[in-house]
Each structure stands twice: as structure tokens, then as C-alpha cells.
Amino acid sequence: MRGVFKALEFELVANTFEKLEAVTSRTQMTLYLVELFKKTPADVIDKVVYFMQGKLWPDWKGLPELGVGEKGIIRAIVLATHARESDVEKLRRKYGDLGTAAAMLKEELEKKSKGAVGILAFLPKAQTAKKKLTVQEVYDTLAKIALAQGEGSRDLKIKLLARLLTDASPREAKYIVRFVEGRLRLGVGDATIMDALAIVYAGSQAFRPVIERAYNLRADLGMIAKILATKGLEELKKIKPQVGVPIRPMLAERLSNPIEILKQVGGKAIVEYKYDGERAQIHKKDDQIWIFSRRLENITRQYPDVQEYAKKYIKAREAIVEGEIVAVDPETGELRPFQELMRRKRKHDIHIAMKEVPVRVYLFDALYVDGEDLTQKTLPERRRKLEEIIEQTEDFRIAEYIITDKPEELEAFFLKAIEDGAEGVVVKAIHGKAIYQAGARGWLWIKYKRDYKSEMIEPVDLVAVGAFYGRGRRGGKYGALLMAAYDPETDMFRTVCKVGSGFTDEDLDKMMEMFKPYVIPHKHPRVDSKMKPDVWFQPAIVAEIIGAELTLSPLHTCCYNWAKQGVGISIRFPRFIRWRPDKGPQDATTTKELYEMYKRQLRKIVEQATPA
């Protein structure tokens, strides 16, 4: 397509980083990415996309992180700039950013070098020209840093980083340091990257759905970009699931009225138990097993027992199936809450954790079996295939379910699910359009959980987008958080409430450190807020919040103008319950869900006020 590839200078990427950091308009961000992608050779487009995502490779690969702490970064800056550690620390304290410190010290070093007079001044320009860093060189060096393990690896990581910073310009050094520190903070989401890729390689943003579907089936945006750049859009249309590469999960909406639920899914439906466990996508290829979480993290190591179940009881050579891993009481066999599974996250003594927290697997979908992509098949077809390939046992079986079109049967099954220790049920459409919508939330699946009947007795999952400093006993700490719901239609986070109650002293003590990697100097471009907190965050950390009721508020932007002009929806008397490390920001409660909850609340008020 482009003939011989010319190496892409990292300077172009660093320049784009700087432009992106300075704007809050998503449209402008897309244009900057388009400009960069047009200049990017196809052989490194994947690396550029990873840089934009702030990572070296997809998280699910389970490869090591860079592993250079703050002290190591400071040491590398010292080696590269010949400064003193105290100089670096002073600048870091002043600007709150090691990247800025590195850039300023590099500028200072360059000024000294230009002022020096010696034999180099009389050499031809070609001999004295400084070598420019390339994207490939920066990527390869950072990969070596991440993969360096064992004795002496710490010193090797620092030397490799120092060498990179020595060759870097001040601007390049700034963003290399931020990348290593995990604080790139560009505000660019995957949706914006896909928009730019569609414009550059397909000619129009209108082709983004093709790119998005490929990405949903193979959660590696760098790889998808490279296929698009080297083989074109038609090749992306042929993408199907691949064992070992996670599929972005299909998500459910939520309602609380059985009649309304069945109406939404088209009448007759499969109704399954909604277990309080960890959603798992299990991949099998011969005797090799991978297990991915809802957030596409590789959690295989945490579940040696599930690996054995999958090897024994999935009767297919290759398969991708979905289910819920649920903790069970080792003595009674009763289902236990999700929090019990956190003990499975131990890095060591996993076999002890297995005895303390045995698990059971409840399967509910098959996405791929022996070369056949099932994601375009209807749910009944997928379920038939699942039943064909699973040898069911007490600990590895298909989720409890019924098929019904009767609201009273749905309600009775829901109550049985609660009695059996589940959270509620999921109602799934079985009509001719009920395909697996990877990466999407839609009305093909609807959750009906225990507490929805009283609206705000049911907690919601919201994303922290800012913080307010506390007073009195909370002085010097974050005293409250600004929380937002996710709007998937616009890929934005819209504020719902300011929550300051429910936190323990331990929560408050840890909060500043927890949010430190996500602090940004201005409102994130994907955040819509009228309120201005003391500190802005990149949307990343999800918390479970409960409140007294949903109310209208001119201060919040969630569902703004939906119920009434000039107001949004807010939570009255919000209270923190717990952090949700198993959920990403896009998994948060949506604006549409909150609006449905608000409408149900209004209906209930009207019913209570109407005489019998």
C-alpha cells in the first residue's frame, strides 16, 4: 500500500501526545489522531495504538508491566541528564510530575551542550547530528524493560530507561517517563482511536462499526489496526473468535417489572439465575485453558480447579464458553457472595485458597466451538451447542434456567433464585435477532435483581471523576468524590452525585494513594460536569453507591433535559458501599438505566397516591 516503510520518528508521537493533552474536544482529538495515523507506516501502527492506550500490549496477555518504580525513574533521569537526585525531586515536588522534571532537565542539558566550544563544533553537521528516536526503538526498549526479570533486572531496567532518555528530546523524555510511570493521561478512549482508524484506512467514520465488531471479537486494538492497515476493511469483516484471545462480553440492561421485561425481549425468553460470582470466559484448545474476567484480565492462575474442570468436561477440541465462577461454602456447599473470591487473587499459596474458597462454575453461553463462530447465531442455537459439548457435574454445569412467556412464572423463578443464594435472574431474548452482541449492552439481555423493586435499595455502579478535599477530621484528605454514570451513546461520563458518606477511616486514608495514578490537571474530555471538584480524575475506578431516592437536580448532567428542561438526575443522600475492582469504567451503570429507574420511581409514587 505504501511501498517501503520509512521508520516513524517517536517525536511525531510525542508531539501528538502534547496536542491531545491540551484539548478537551473529542472531535479535535480525532483529528490529531487522523493526522498521526496518516503519517504512520503500517508496520508500526499497532505500536502507535498501544502507546495511545498507555500500554505495551493488551492486558489480557498477562505479560509483565514495566516494573520501574518512582525511585528507579528518578535514577534513570539522573543518569540521562547528569543532574542530582535532589534536583529531580525538587522539580517533581514543584510540578507534581516526573515527566515535566525530565523534560526541564533535558532542556537544561541541551542548553549547556550548545554553549560548549570544542572540537565537535568544527566537525561536519552530518557527523554531529543527533540520532532521532523511532517508534520501533522506543517500543522495543520499553518491552525489554518490562520483560527483564530475575537477579540484576532492576539495574538493567534503569540502564535501559536511562539510555532511552539520553537519546530523547525534552518532549520525548516527558512522555516516555509518564508512560513508564503509568500516568500518560491523554483522555483518548478506544472509541476515539477507532473513529480515527476508520477515517484513515476506510475513508469514513461511518465504517467504525466494522472495526468495533472486529475489536469486540478480538480484544486487541493494536492487532486490529495492523490488520486494517495491511489488509484492509474486507479482511476485518472476516474476523472471527480466536481461542486464547478474549471476546469483549455482552452486557445486560436492567428492569424490575416482569411484564415489562418480557415485553422488551419479545415475549418468550430464557430466564437464568444471576449468580453473585465472577464472570468468566473460558477458552479451551486441546489441554490448554485460558480464563478471562469480565474486564478481560487473564485470571487463569487463580483457578487451577476450573482449569481441570474445563479440560475434563468440555467435550470439544476448541471452545470458548461463558459462565460465572461462584464461591461455595466448603462445609455446606451453599453459594457464597462475590467478595469471598477476592481470596483467590493471592499470588502465592493458591492451593490453600482453593481449599478455603472452593468454587463452582455455572455456564450460560457458547461463543465458538471447533472452528464455528457462534456469535452470529441465535441464543437457542448457542445453548444447544453448549449442551452438546458440556458434560455436566455438580461443580461444572449449565446455569439453572427456565423458558417462559408468563410474568408470574418469571416472578416465581426469580424468588426461587433468591432463595437459592443467587442475586436474581437474567432474562434473555430467544427470537431470530438474539445474536451475541459482543461488547454491547442491549435489550436482548435484561437483569432482574433482588432489590430493584425499591429502586435505590438497589445500589448502582458509578465512576469517580473528581474529588473534594475534606474539612476538620478529613482535612488534608479527599473528603468526597464526584461520581458519574456512563453514557454509551456518546462515550461520555455524566455526573450523578457527590458522595462523602459511607467511607471508613481506612477508606479515607487510602484514597489519595489509590487515585494518584489517575489525577489530571483539567476535566477529562469524556466527562460532562457542571460541578468543579478540587481534583479531577481520569475515569477509572468504579464504586458501588446507594441512596435514598433519585431526584432532579440542576447541578448534575446525567440524563440532562430528559425528564425536564434544565435539570439532570441525581441521587439523594448517596452513600458509598464498596469498591468494584472487577468492573471497568464502561461497565458502570448507564444513564439510560438511571432514567428507567427514575421513571419507575415516579410510577410508584403515582400508584401510592392514587386511591384504591
Q: What is the DSSP string of 350-365?
A: HHHHHHHS-EEEEEEE
Rounded Cα distance, 144 and 157, in Å: 8
CB 465 within 8 A of CB 495: yes
Residue 8, C-alpha cell as written in the block: 516513524
Rounded Cα distance, 594 and 72, in Å: 45
Q: Where are the alpha helices (DSSP H) in 345-446?
A: 350-356, 379-389, 407-419
Phi first, then psi, for residue 551 (nearest 5°) are -140, 165
SS3 560: coil
Residue in 321, 592, 296 with CA at minimum distance from that of residue 442 = 592
Q: What is the DSSP string of 128-194?
A: HPPPPPBHHHHHHHHHHHHH--STTHHHHHHHHHHHHHHHS-HHHHHHHHHHHHT-------HHHHH
Cα-based distances in Å from 242 to 310, 369, 390: 17, 10, 20
CB 324 within 8 A of CB 277: yes
Percent helix, strand, coil in the chain (nearest 5)? Answer: 45, 20, 30
Residue 284, C-alpha cell as written in the block: 479451551
Q: Find the radius of gyration of the CA atoms of the chain.
A: 26
Rounded Cα distance, 128 and 113, in Å: 12
Check residue 598 and give left, alpha or beta (phi > 0: left; psi -120 to 50: alpha).
alpha
Beta strands 519-520 and 478-487: pairing type? unpaired
Which residues, at least 6 apart from 82, have a Cβ–Cβ distance to it below 8 Å? 109
Q: Which residues pair with 402 in a beta bridge?
A: 271
Burial call 100-120: b when 16+ CB within 10 Å, e when fewer? bbbbbbbeebeeeeeeeeeee
Q: What is the DSSP string of 50-84?
A: HHHHTSSS-GGG--------HHHHHHHHHHHH---
Residue 395 CA from chain centroid, whole number: 30
SS3 220: coil
- Residue pointed to by grid coordinates 452470529: 376
Rounded Cα distance, 48 and 8, in Å: 10
Amino acid at position 216, single letter: N
CB 217 within 8 A of CB 241: yes
* 47, 157, 226, 274: the active-site residue: 274
Burial call 424-448: b when 16+ CB within 10 Å, e when fewer? bbbbbbbeeebbbbbbbbeebbbbb
Tell me if residue 274 is catalytic: yes
Within 10 A of 39 (CB to CB), how many other CB atoms are there? 14
Residues with a catalytic annotation lie at 274
